[in-house]
Amino acid sequence: MRYELLVFDWDGTLIDSARTIVACIQAACRDLELPVPDDARANHVIGLGLQDALSYAVPGLAAEDYGRVVECYRRHFLARDPEIRLFPGTRAMLAGLRERDHILAIATGKSRAGLERALDNTGLGPFFYASRCADQCASKPAPDMLCELMTELGVEESQTLMIGDTVHDLRMAAHAGVCAVGVSHGAHPRRELAALAPLACVESIDELTRWLTQNA
């Protein structure tokens, strides 16, 4: 085993939620008569904490308006949340990694409440030993999530691998001194992920499963 600890992003990596997040950001801005970000701008913020995401998605948004946008976004997202599905093969991949005695964890831009709801909805909670969310510590691309997980689980940087679908995931890994694999079936295009030189850039859960089986 080369990597004892495998840390997964959630949205766009394990679950097919990127398009829903973009639509909910845009719907919230539309409801509140704010400038509506285009798909590329809204896609870019996936993986960030909500406040960091909104500051980029809606430039010039007044501080006093953050709460209104967050609440409106959450209302739209909760209405669609039950329809969001795991990428095909996700459950089998995680089960196989656990059988090989990897330690699995999550580092996500979701809130703690949002992640717990998602884990309950999907039934994936038992696969993971630990997790960090954007309302617990500094958001991606700061290294804090990975550093805290490694400390909690007693695993060194050289034995940790980050898997994510955004440049924020890959930059967080680099800042933490951790290797990374990019997945291009989520929010950010392959060319942006490949530019940050991950160990690999895969296009599906099946390809990720094969890569991890052979290399992790």
| Residue type, position 130, single letter | A
From the candidates 11, 52, 165, 169, which is the catalytic residue?
11
Contacts of 206 (CB under 8 A, 6+ apart): 88, 89
Radius of gyration of the chain (CA): 17
**Catalytic annotation present for 135:** no
In the 8-state DSSP scheme, what is residue 86?
B
CA–CA separation, 166 and 189 (whole Å): 8
Exactly one of 9, 52, 165, 169 is catalytic; name it.
9
- Whether 52 is catalytic is no
Query: How far is 207 from 215, CA to CA, in rounded Å?
Result: 12
- The one-letter amino acid code at 68 reads R
Residues annotated as part of the active site = 9, 11
